[in-house]
Amino acid sequence: MRLAMAMISLAAASCAWAQESKVLLKDAPGKDKVMQCMACHSLDYIQMNSHFLDKAGWTASVNKMINVFGAPIPKEDVDAIATYLAENYGKPPAK
């Protein structure tokens, strides 16, 4: 939480990036954990990569952020984040 608040104030401090506060994610369970993504990037990366990844695809993305880019996200949050992303920004179920 402290991290998210710090990131929000950092983002607001930069005039060029202040606009990113207009990027809003859907309200659903797990959103609070997804806000941790703002430590490194604006949240529009999520909408931009929708709706074509399934839960496995989103899990791979989140793990890449942690393992390759060093995102400070606890391992125990990965499933909640991937579930939120798959349900709200994932590939629609096959008809």
Task: Answer yes or no whether residue 84 interacts with other proteins by CB under 8 A.
Answer: no
Q: Give the chain's end-to-end CA distance (angstroms, integer).
A: 39
Interface stretch with other proteins, choices 7-15, 28-36, 76-84 (CB under 8 A): 7-15
Residue by residue, DSSP assigns 43-81 as: THHHHHTTTS--HHHHHHHHHHHHHTT-----GGGHHHH
Cβ proximity to other proteins: between 26 and 29 the closer is 26
Cβ proximity to other proteins, 43 vs 80, nearer residue: 43
Q: Which 29-48 positions form the footprint of other proteins (CB under 8 A)?
A: 39-42, 44-48
- Residues 53-82 interacting with other proteins (rule: CB under 8 A): 53, 57, 61, 68-72
The angle, 0 to 180 degrees and rounded to 10, between the axes of the packed helices 55-67 and 78-89 is 140
Residues engaged in binding other proteins (CB under 8 A): 11, 14-17, 19-20, 23, 39-42, 44-53, 57, 61, 68-72, 89
